[in-house]
Amino acid sequence: MSRRNRREPNPEIGEIKIGGIRKSEELKDGGWIVVSITGSSAVKDYRCPGCDMTIPQGTPHLVAWPDYLTGGDGAVDERRHWHTQCWRRRTRQTGKR
């Protein structure tokens, strides 16, 4: 039996389309949606809010936003791209529930 590649439906207007593995985290400062981004999905440079250093294009990293925004999909202007280690350091400082 052949395998069929299925496209995901186009996102609704205002919905964020972002690849990677999505999970939710509950921290002292609230709930967060965190998505792992592969190097091949990282198509431009970003600035990490944890260390204020550049995350170069092609570098695996995380995208995080508060989960109360637009039903868990987040608002584009609220998403932040983090180095994975910077996010882990942040969660240790804020503490998990």
The reported pLDDT for the residue numbered 45 is: 96
Closest CA to 31 of 74, 61, 2: 74
CA distance 25 to 82: 15
pLDDT per position as a tens digit, 20-63: 788 888 888 888 889 999 988 889 999 999 999 999 999 999 99
The reported pLDDT for the residue numbered 90 is: 86
Q: Are strands 80-82 and 54-55 parallel, antiparallel or unpaired?
A: unpaired
Mean pLDDT of 88-96: 73
Helix, strand, coil tally for the chain in percent (to 5): 20, 30, 50
DSSP 3-state of 27: strand
The reported pLDDT for the residue numbered 5 is: 56
Q: Is residue 87 part of a domain?
A: yes
Mean pLDDT of 3-19: 51
pTM reported for the whole predicted model: 0.70
CA distance 39 to 54: 14
Q: Is residue 16 part of a domain?
A: no
* Counted domains in the chain: 1
Q: Is residue 15 part of a domain?
A: no
